[in-house]
Amino acid sequence: MAHICIILPTRNAAATLARAIACFDAQDHDDKSLILVDSASTDGTHDLIAAFAQRPDITWVNKPERGLAHAINLGVAQMPKDAIFGYLGADDFLEAGVLRTVSAHFEANPDDIGLFFDSYTARDGRDPVYRTCPAKTFSMANLLRHRTIAGMQNTFLRGDVIKANPFDERAAFAMDYELYLRLARQGLGERIVHSAQASTTNTDSGTISRTHKRASKREALAWALHYAPPGRDRRQAWWKYLKYRFV
C-alpha cells in the first residue's frame, strides 16, 4: 500500500476547506497524509487549520509563500520521498475511492511515474459537468496540442519525481503545465498515464484559470514556446503565442 501525501495550499478558504478535508477523510485508503500551506489568510481559515493540525495525519506549514508554486514546493519539502504526491486546491473535493485507485495503480505499474484523471466541474451552483481528458499520456506532442491535459488537482506523481523536479516559481499561473512540459522533455511524459474516471469535483470558485484566464493562457503559450522542439513544433508554438498575444 503506497503512502499518498496531498499538498493543499490555501488563502482565505474558510468557506470550502472543511469540505475538502472531509472528502480527504472519507477516502478508504488509510495510508495518507495532508499538508496544508497557509500563512496569510485573514478570514478564519487559520482557526480551521489549527484545529485540524492537531491530528497526526495533517501538517500545517505556516511560512510566508511567494506565490502558488512556492507554496506547493514548501509542502513538497515536508513530504516523504517515497510517498505519492497529490495536490488539491481548497475548492477541490476528492471523489470516493480515488486514493485507493492511485495506490493500486502504482503498486501494479512500478514503471509509471504519474497517473492523471478526468474530473467534474460544478460552477455557480450548477450540476457537475464531467470533463474528459483530451489525451492519454503527457507526451510532448499531446501537451503542445492540448496544453494542460489535466489539472494538477487531477494528477498524482511519484514523490522522488516531484522532489527532483520542483515547481518553477517563476510561473504565476501555468506552473502545472510547465512541469508537465519539463517532464516530457526528459522523456518521462509517456510514463504519466490516464485513468478514465474522475478524481475530483472542482467548484471553480476563484481558481487561477478562471480569474486570470487570459494571463494564464498567455503564460502557458510562452512555456509551450520555451519547450517546443526545433522545427515544425517550434514554428507552430511561435504562431500560437504571437496570435494570442497580439491579435
Gap between the Cα atoms of 105 and 195, Å rounded: 9
* 147-190 pLDDT, tens digit each: 999 999 999 999 999 999 999 999 999 999 999 999 999 999 99
More confidently predicted of 242 and 35: 35
pLDDT of residue 205: 59
Sign of CA dihedral 21, 22, 28, 30: positive
**Section 220-235 average pLDDT:** 93
- Residue 119 clears pLDDT 90, i.e. is over it: yes
- Residue 135 clears pLDDT 70, i.e. is over it: yes
Residue 103, classified by CB atoms within 10 Å of its CB into exposed (0-12), middle (13-18) or buried (19+), is: buried
pLDDT of residue 1: 84
pLDDT of residue 203: 87
Per mean pLDDT, which range of 52-56, 113-117, 150-154, 230-234 is the poorest?
230-234
More confidently predicted of 124 and 50: 50
